[in-house]
Copies of this chain bind each other. A is one copy, B any other.
């Protein structure tokens, strides 16, 4: 009986299972550069707001751009299905718990109005903000030209899992090299989680990759489909693909870790694992300016037969600027993400995000012992 007959399983790690080791040199935060670049765009903070209807609308996208980051507008959600999205958002916020999933299924069954795509993009552009929009692969061929014509800056093709190759009977799969020829925009594609899938996506010529599928043990993709990889391992693997692709092509394609962030420490760990930027949903849904009115729901277009996103009451905590930059008087890591990142980089002696990729991380599982004062040790 040779062990090699048996399927081998590799151990993966999530945010709560790892920690960053301080370095042998420390750096003052004022020395640190956290710029994020995607093609010709440079952002002063490497943080992107998710293409979710409870997170990004036109005004949130403008605000995020002003603060140095980026927000992605979902072109298949409420913003492009309804002339008056605020009404619909309020309806979702008011719906009783028991009715909300069918209500969401109904709301998202309304058709996308192509004229609204142009309107939303132009509203963002008029403010001077960088405009990023997202579409699922199945609708990309139809909607990408409209977005390009409306002068969107960055185009995101996103679904739970997106690969360079897709087999379908009903339609010809999306071919990224063809898409790249047809629209003159940087294209970010996702999500993926493995070395090989990420490498294959990069080889199609796209400009960025979103990393993250079913990151949390309790997230619905993991519950319903059993599919997912914890975010630290997914980020490490895709970062290795990025480095490999840089070796073979000379082109640096950034990876953006998407999903599962709850506090500053998680963000710092994603960069230590190899992320070039992070995409944040739930925490931004808590911002005063978020369109979700204190609620959040996951899927931009809940599946009619197999929904995987639930509406969750996240509450409203503070303005986006405070979440990003503080000051804060809470000590749970839910605010001042940028300050936390700079401080963590300082303790590691990392002057840039790329240097942060090199720091040591260790496996240091969270042992749940809540409610005991001694766990709140102070260093």
Q: Measuring CB to CB, which residues of chain A are less than 8 angstroms from any residue of chain B?
A: 1, 5-7, 9-28, 30-31, 52, 101-102, 105, 160-170, 191-197, 200, 212-230, 232-233, 236-237, 239-240, 243-244, 258-260, 262-269, 272-274, 281-283, 296-299, 304-310, 312-314, 325-333, 336, 339-340, 343-344, 347-349, 351, 360-370, 372-379
A274: chain B residues within 8 A (beta carbon): 7
A200: chain B residues within 8 A (beta carbon): 24
State which of B19, B219, B361 has its C-beta within 8 Å of the C-beta of A377. B219
Contact across chains for A379 and B347 when beta carbons are under 8 A apart: no
Give CA–CA (A71, B147) in the complex, Å: 52
| Extra inter-chain contacts (19) besides given A31-B169, A226-B265, A227-B347, CB under 8 Å | A16-B217, A19-B230, A26-B163, A31-B167, A101-B330, A194-B360, A212-B379, A217-B375, A220-B331, A220-B333, A224-B332, A226-B267, A226-B268, A226-B344, A227-B268, A258-B379, A305-B325, A308-B378, A312-B376
A selection of 9 A-B contacts at a CB cut-off of 8 Å is: A5-B240, A12-B19, A20-B225, A22-B213, A26-B166, A102-B329, A161-B347, A226-B268, A226-B344
Give CA–CA (A64, B37) in the complex, Å: 55
The chain B residue sitting closest to A270, CB to CB, is B226
Contact across chains for B340 and A375 when beta carbons are under 8 A apart: no
A375: chain B residues within 8 A (beta carbon): 216-219
A31: chain B residues within 8 A (beta carbon): 167-169
Give CA–CA (A52, B378) in the complex, Å: 10
Give CA–CA (A19, B161) in the complex, Å: 14
User: Residue among A225, A230, A372 with the most chain B CB within 10 A?
Assistant: A225
Given contacts A22-B197, A24-B200, A163-B26, contact A223 B379 (CB under 8 A): no
Contact across chains for A339 and B282 when beta carbons are under 8 A apart: no
Contact across chains for A331 and B344 when beta carbons are under 8 A apart: no
Give CA–CA (A139, B58) in the complex, Å: 47
The chain B residue sitting closest to A268, CB to CB, is B226
Tell me the smallest distance from the CB of A140 to a CB of chain B, in Å.
Answer: 14
Tell me the smallest distance from the CB of A232 to a CB of chain B, in Å.
Answer: 8
Give CA–CA (A213, B283) in the complex, Å: 26
Contact across chains for B24 and A194 when beta carbons are under 8 A apart: yes
Tell me the smallest distance from the CB of A26 to a CB of chain B, in Å.
Answer: 5
Contact across chains for B367 and A17 when beta carbons are under 8 A apart: yes
A328: chain B residues within 8 A (beta carbon): 305-307
The chain B residue sitting closest to A137, CB to CB, is B26
The chain B residue sitting closest to A247, CB to CB, is B5
A336: chain B residues within 8 A (beta carbon): 305-306
Contact across chains for A225 and B344 when beta carbons are under 8 A apart: yes
Give CA–CA (A10, B219) in the complex, Å: 26
Contact across chains for B349 and A167 when beta carbons are under 8 A apart: yes
A196: chain B residues within 8 A (beta carbon): 1, 24
State which of B6, B168, B333 has its C-beta within 8 Å of the C-beta of A223. B333
Give CA–CA (A312, B377) in the complex, Å: 9
Give CA–CA (A237, B322) in the complex, Å: 38
A299: chain B residues within 8 A (beta carbon): 378
